[in-house]
C-alpha cells in the first residue's frame, strides 16, 4: 500500500517524536482497536484506559516532569493525539480533556500547592478530571454563563450547572468556570464528594459513545478558598485552555482520517465487482486520491502549527483554522471511505461508521465548525460576526 506519509513528513520529526508515534500507534492497535467497537456499541466508557494512558505517558505530555508530566514539546503531544484517535475519538477526548483542559489550567493558573496536589495524580491516571464551561443555555456563547460563586464563611458557595461535560460521570475533579461577585469568570477546582455536587450521565448519544458525557450540578457547594485557581480570572483564561485542546483535536482528526483511508485502500484492493478489484475503477481512485491529498495538507498544517506552539507564537485563529479544516477533512475522508466499503461500511466489522459518528461531536465541541469560521472571519475583517 502507498504510504500515508506522502510528503515524507516523518523526516520533519525528531527521533524522539518518531518513537512516540510508533509507541502510541502500537498502543492504539493492540489495546484500543480490538475492544473499542464493543464499548461504543454498549455506550460504555472503558475506564481501565485511564490508568493505562497514565502509564503510557499521554496525560500532560507538555507539563514539566517535576509535576509528573512528560516535559515534551507540542508536536509530540499532537502525534500522541493523532495515534490515540486512530483508535477512537472518545479515547482522544479523554486524553485532551485531562491534558489540555485539566492539567494545563492547573499548571498555568494554579498555585504551587495546587500543582503539587493534583498534577502528579492526573499524569499517572490515578485521578481523572473534567472541564466544565458549557451550560444548558450557553454553548457557543460561554461569556453569558450563569453558574456563580459567592463569598461565604470558610470559602465560596458554588451554584448552577454545566452540560455536555466529557469525563464528568467518572471524574474525580472538575475545573469549573463560574461568575464571581465582580461579574468576572473565575476558574475553580471542584472535587467529587463535596456536598451538593453531582454528575448525572447524559444518555442517548449516537456519537462518542465510548466517552462518558455528563452534567455537573452544583447546589450550594462549599468551595474552600484553596480550590480557587488564583490566576484563572476572566473568560480569556478558559478560552486559552480551549486553544490548547483544539490544537490536539486538529492532530487527532488526522488519526481518524488515516484509519479510514487505510481501511478504504485495503478494502478496495480486495473487493471485486465486474471481475475487477473496485480500486481499478476511476471513481474509487478519485476518492482515494482526494483523501490522500486532504490528509497530506492537514498533516502539514498540524505540523507547522505544532512548531508555532513550541515557539509560543500560535494564534487563536491559526488554531481555529487547523481544528476546523482538519475535522472537516476527516469527515470528508470518513464519508468517502464509508461509500467505498458499500454495505460493509455501515457495520462494526470496520471502524468507519464509528469514526464518522464520532466526528459529528468533534466538529461541534471545542467550538463549532461555523464558530471557527467566524473567528477567522473576525481576524480577516476586524469585524466579529458572532457578537
One of 73, 262, 370, 379 touching ligand FAD (CB under 6 A)? 370
- Contact with ligand FAD (CB under 6 A) among 132, 248, 306, 351: 132
- Closest by alpha carbon to 89, among 364, 360, 355? 355
What stretch of H or E contains 195?
none
How many whole angstroms from its chain centre is CA 85? 9
Among 192, 101, 197, smallest CA distance to 157 is for 197
Q: In whole angstroms, how close is the CB of 371 to ligand FAD at the nearest point?
A: 5
Give least dist CB 164 to ligand FAD, A: 4
97 lies in the binding site for ligand FAD (CB under 6 A): yes
Residue showing the smallest CB distance to ligand FAD in the complex: 139
Q: And the C-alpha cell for 228?
A: 480557587
Query: Which cell is 234 given?
Result: 476572566
Q: For ligand FAD, which stretch binds (CB under 6 A), given 4-12, 131-139, 313-321, 347-355?
A: 131-139
CB 175 within 8 A of CB 168: no
Number of residues that bind ligand FAD (CB under 6 A): 21
The contact pattern for ligand FAD, residues 143-172, with x = CB under 6 A and - = no contact, is: ---------------------xxx------
- Grid coordinates standing for 321? 483554522
Q: Which is nearer to ligand FAD, 180 or 368 (CB)?
A: 368
Q: Do 329 and 274 form a contact (C-beta atoms < 8 A)? A: no
Site for ligand FAD contains 96 (CB under 6 A): no
- The grid coordinates listed for 86 are 486512530
By CB under 6 A, what part of segment 193-222 binds ligand FAD?
Answer: 208, 213
Shortest Å distance, C-beta 382 to ligand FAD:
17
240 lies in the binding site for ligand FAD (CB under 6 A): no
Binding status of residue 358 toward ligand FAD by CB under 6 A: no
Cβ proximity of 264 and 288 under 8 Å: yes
Assess 371 for contact with ligand FAD (CB under 6 A): yes
Residue 142 DSSP one-character state: G
133 binds ligand FAD (CB under 6 A): yes
Residue 153 buriedness (CB in 10 A; 0-12 / 13-18 / 19+): exposed
**Which lies closer to ligand FAD via its Cβ, residue 198 or residue 364?**
364
Is residue 131 near ligand FAD by the rule CB under 6 A? yes
Question: Which of residues 134 and 299 has its CB atom nearest to ligand FAD in the complex?
Answer: 134
Least separation in angstroms between residue 124's CB and ligand FAD is 21
How many Å apart are CA 57 and CA 20, to the nearest integer?
10
What's the grid cell of residue 250?
A: 486538529
Q: Is 140 in the site for ligand FAD (CB under 6 A)?
A: yes
| Least distance between ligand FAD and beta carbon 374 (Å) | 6
In the complex, the smallest distance separating the C-beta of residue 106 from ligand FAD, rounded to whole angstroms, is 16
d(CA 245, CA 338) in angstroms, rounded, equals: 28
Catalytic residue list contains 366: yes
What SS3 string covers 246-294? HHHHHHHHHHHHHHHHHHHHHHHHHCEECCEEHHHCHHHHHHHHHHHHH
Write out the residues near ligand FAD by the rule CB under 6 A.
97, 130-134, 139-140, 164-166, 208, 213, 361, 364-365, 368, 370-371, 374, 386
**Catalytic amino acids?**
366
Amino acid at each position: 500500500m502507498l504510504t500515508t506519509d506522502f510528503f515524507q513528513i516523518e523526516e520533519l520529526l525528531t527521533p524522539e517524536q518518531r518513537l512516540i508515534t510508533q509507541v502510541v500507534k502500537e498502543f492504539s492497535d493492540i489495546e484500543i482497536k480490538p475492544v473499542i467497537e464493543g464499548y461504543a456499541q454498549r455506550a460504555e466508557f472503558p475506564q481501565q484506559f485511564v490508568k493505562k494512558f497514565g502509564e503510557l505517558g499521554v496525560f500532560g505530555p507538555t507539563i514539566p516532569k517535576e509535576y509528573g508530566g512528560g516535559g515534551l514539546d507540542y508536536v509530540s503531544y499532537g502525534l500522541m493525539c493523532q495515534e490515540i484517535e486512530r483508535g477512537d475519538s472518545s479515547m482522544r477526548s479523554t486524553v485532551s480533556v485531562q491534558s489540555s483542559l485539566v492539567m494545563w489550567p492547573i499548571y498555568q493558573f494554579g498555585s504551587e500547592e495546587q500543582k503539587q496536589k493534583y498534577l502528579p495524580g492526573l499524569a499517572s491516571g490515578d485521578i481523572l478530571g473534567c472541564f466544565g464551561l458549557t451550560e444548558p443555555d450557553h454553548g457557543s456563547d460561554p461569556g453569558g454563563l450563569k453558574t456563580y460563586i459567592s463569598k461565604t464563611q470558610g470559602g465560596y458557595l458554588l451554584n448552577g450547572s454545566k452540560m455536555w461535560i466529557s469525563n464528568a460521570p467518572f471524574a474525580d475533579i472538575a475545573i469549573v468556570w463560574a461568575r464571581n461577585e465582580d461579574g468576572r469568570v473565575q476558574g475553580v477546582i471542584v472535587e467529587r464528594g463535596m456536598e451538593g455536587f453531582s454528575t448525572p450521565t447524559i444518555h442517548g448519544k449516537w456519537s462518542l459513545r465510548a466517552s462518558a458525557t455528563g452534567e455537573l450540578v452544583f447546589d450550594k457547594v462549599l468551595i474552600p478558598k484553596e480550590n480557587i485557581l488564583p490566576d484563572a480570572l476572566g473568560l480569556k483564561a478558559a478560552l486559552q485552555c480551549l486553544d490548547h485542546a483544539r490544537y490536539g483535536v486538529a492532530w487527532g482528526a488526522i488519526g481518524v482520517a488515516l484509519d479510514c483511508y487505510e481501511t478504504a485502500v485495503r478494502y478496495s484492493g480486495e473487493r471485486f465487482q465486474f471481475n475487477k478489484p473496485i480500486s481499478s475503477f476511476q471513481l474509487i481512485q478519485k476518492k482515494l486520491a482526494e483523501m490522500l491529498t486532504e490528509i497530506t495538507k492537514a498533516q502539514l498544517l498540524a505540523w507547522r502549527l505544532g512548531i508555532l506552539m513550541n515557539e509560543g507564537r500560535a494564534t487563536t485563529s491559526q488554531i481555529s483554522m487547523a481544528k476546523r479544516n482538519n475535522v472537516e477533512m476527516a469527515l470528508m475522508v470518513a464519508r468517502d471511505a464509508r461509500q467505498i466499503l458499500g454495505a460493509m461500511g455501515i457495520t462494526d466489522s470496520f471502524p468507519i461508521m464509528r469514526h464518522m459518528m464520532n466526528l459529528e461531536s468533534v466538529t461541534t465541541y471545542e467550538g463549532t465548525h461555523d464558530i471557527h469560521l467566524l473567528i477567522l472571519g473576525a481576524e480577516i475583517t476586524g469585524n466579529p460576526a458572532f457578537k
